[in-house]
Structure 1
């Protein structure tokens, strides 16, 4: 439904401007399922996922063993030993939780490994999509199998530079930062606002 709405909006815009824009769609899920390199990457991903999941499971299993041992011996322990054992269990559990977050959290190791393994196949797909869109003179290509929406758009319809200019953003610096954030952070100084921009900013505050 979301893609249909986007498509309808773009169609109305095209009609309103009197521009004959061409749209197309594809099924990336079906296409990638037929690519050997993509399937190989998926297999590798599964191996990493299972390996890390086993490591995390073992860590929590160790916490469980420590808790059961403590409960069995609790009546025989002094208050100091109880506090020590409870602290050890808590630390072990925290360690397991942190490792789980490190692996499966947002942009964790699993996410990074997926990007690494999938990159060659997805770049190959993107080159094919761009080539077909240019050959068929398509302005936009949609992926019907995901929520990604547009997977190709004609650069002539990109108005980002105009919007950044209206917002007082240095477009070239922003693009450089996107391409090489480390270099940009170390070499480019913040751009000082003009008196007009400062006045506008103060009003916004």
Structure 2
């Protein structure tokens, strides 16, 4: 009976020592407590309001030109009509270009957010690294996003190079040497049945 309990204890200890530890954080909650984030958000909101006002002003100017054209269309010669229409089109393109420049995928708003949040995200990342080391975690997820986002992974659990090897793609030369040494050791050691 004692032997059975000893073996069971060893098995439980061995299985728990190989277990991976997971954790999660809520970045929305964390950033809501950071004064730097509130300040950055306020700056972004102010710039966004200014840019929206400029976009609205350009749209109103375009609408004014279109209304004036409709009122005077019957009185204009064909050349003047074409001139006004091209001026309206140019104003429309200008308004659209400004809107894309500010609110587009790589626009001013995107750049402003990137620079404003960079130091905050760096602080959070460093804090996560410290917590991971202190708590000996292997994975950290962020529950604030729609789907769970992986914020940290222990590189020990990255098997990308092995998948590349299986696919026959180029590997890191250091890993190739390590793999060859492991395979050579496996062949030298006697197999247990």
Describe how 1:5-84 pairs up with structure 2 within 5 A.
19-84=18-83
Instruction: Quote how far apart the aligned CAs of 1:164 are.
Output: 4.8
Q: How does 1:22-171 map to 2 (within 5 A)?
A: 22-147=21-146, 149-164=149-164, 166=167, 168-169=169-170
Following superposition, the deviation at residue 88 of structure 1 comes to 0.7
Question: CA–CA distance in 2 between the matches of 1:162 and 1:57?
Answer: 55
Measured on the aligned residues, the alpha-carbon RMSD in Å equals 2.0
Give TM-score scaled by structure 2 length.
0.74
How far apart are 1:163 and its partner, in Å?
Answer: 4.2
For the residue of structure 1 that corresponds to 2:137, the secondary structure is: coil
Identify if the C-alpha distance between structure 1 residues 99 and 139 changes in structure 2 by more than 3 Å, giving closer, same or farther: same
The Cα shift of 1:168 comes to: 3.2
TM-score normalized with structure 1 length:
0.70
SS at match of 1:141: strand
Q: Any unmatched runs of 5+ in structure 1?
A: 1-17, 173-205
Residue 38 to residue 98, structure 1, CA distance change in 2 (3 Å): same
Query: Tell me, what secondary structure is at the counterpart of 1:152?
Result: strand
Quick one: distance in 1 between partners of 2:19 and 2:47? 47
Segments of 5+ residues of structure 2 without an aligned counterpart are: 1-16, 174-193
CA distance in 2, matches of 1:167, 1:42: 47
User: 1:164 touches 1:171 (CA, 8 Å); kept in 2?
Assistant: no
Report the Cα distance in structure 2 between the residues aligned to 1:65 and 1:26, rounded to whole angstroms: 51
Query: Contact (CA 8 Å) 1:63, 1:89: kept in 2 or not?
Result: yes
Aligned residues: 155
Larger radius of gyration: 2
Q: Which aligned runs of 4 or more in structure 1 are off by greater than 6 angstroms?
A: none
Post-superposition CA distance 1:48-90 (Å, at most 9, x none): 1111111111111110110011111111100111011011101
2:189 — aligned with what?
none
